[in-house]
């Protein structure tokens, strides 16, 4: 069985084009099977975008777990340089295709320059990889925020958003709930 967090999905690569509106702009995206939410923008990502404003133009942003690129493309369209990171090679290919003409760099996690720091991190993190792996993922990337930087995470309430918020704060990354809707929480992490 193939998962969206597999490096090389074994499912057939069935491409489709979908239309997504973010911040008053409609964009066409190519998606596929074998990636997270390959048939539509998922409710959590839609909430993260709806309840957040783009960082100032010129910001360097990490889209952690970029999927087919709705966050990366939306942020880059508003003037950010975005590093779109995913472990799924099909997702990275789709993001690169969807981001043509935008300042988006797609990369596997180990291919991001070690000295690169971010003004912001945006993510609908891959909760289904398991709590221990998720904690390791966050402890790897959150220290790469520049001073004064912010991470915006969206997590399902029934998938542990409140306990993750407490865990982040307990591990030196103060987290505040800034939005809640349809069973999801948007967390601001400093």
What digits encode the pLDDT tens for the residues 40-98?
999 999 999 999 999 999 999 999 999 999 999 999 999 999 999 999 999 999 999 99
pLDDT digits (tens, 9 = 90+) for 152-172: 999 999 998 999 999 999 999
Ranges 1-15, 93-107, 122-136: which has the least confidence: 1-15
Claim: this prediction has a pTM higher than 0.85:
yes
* pLDDT value of position 38: 87
Average pLDDT in the 172-176 region? 97
| pLDDT, average across residues 114-118 | 97
| Per-residue confidence (pLDDT) for residue 46, from 0 to 100 | 96
Provide mean pLDDT across the span 100-129.
Answer: 96
Domains located in the chain, CATH noted? 42-189 (3.40.50.150)
Q: What is the mean pLDDT of the chain?
A: 94
Beta bridge partners of 189: 151, 175
CA distance 11 to 168: 35
Confidence of residue 128 (pLDDT cuts 50, 70, 90): confident
% of residues, the chain, pLDDT over 70: 95
Is the pLDDT assigned to residue 2 strictly greater than 60? no
**Neighbour tally for 188: CB within 10 Å:** 16
Q: What's the pLDDT at 9?
A: 73
3-state secondary structure the chain: CCCCCCCCCCCCCCCEEEEEEECCEEEEEEECCCCCCCCCCCHHHHHHHHCCCCCCCCCEEEEECCCCCHHHHHHHHCCCEEEEECCCHHHHHHHHHHCCCCCEEEECHHHCCCCCCEEEEEECCCHHHCHHHHHHHHHHHHHHEEEEEEEEEEEEHHHCHHHHHHHHHHCCCCEEEEEEECCEEEEEEC
Q: Give the pLDDT band of residue 1 (cuts 50, 70, 90).
A: very low
């Amino acid at each position: 069985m193939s998962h969206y967090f597999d490096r090389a999905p074994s499912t057939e690569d069935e491409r489709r084009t979908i239309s997504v509106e973010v911040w008053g702009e409609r964009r066409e995206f190519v998606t596929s099977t074998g990636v997270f939410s390959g048939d539509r923008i998922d409710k959590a990502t839609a909430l993260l975008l709806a309840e957040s404003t783009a960082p100032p133009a010129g910001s360097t942003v990490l889209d952690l777990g970029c999927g087919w690129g709705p966050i990366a493309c939306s942020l880059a369209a508003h003037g950010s340089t975005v590093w779109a990171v995913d472990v799924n090679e099909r997702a990275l290919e789709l993001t690169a295709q969807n981001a043509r003409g935008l300042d988006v760099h797609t990369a596997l996690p180990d291919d991001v320059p070690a000295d690169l720091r971010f003004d912001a991190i945006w993510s609908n993190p891959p909760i289904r990889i398991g709590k221990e792996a998720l904690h390791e993922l966050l402890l790897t990337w959150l220290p790469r925020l520049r001073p004064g930087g912010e991470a915006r995470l969206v997590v399902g309430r029934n998938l542990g958003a409140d306990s993750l918020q407490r865990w982040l704060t307990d591990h030196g990354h103060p987290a505040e709930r800034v939005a809640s809707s349809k069973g999801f929480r948007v967390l601001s992490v400093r």
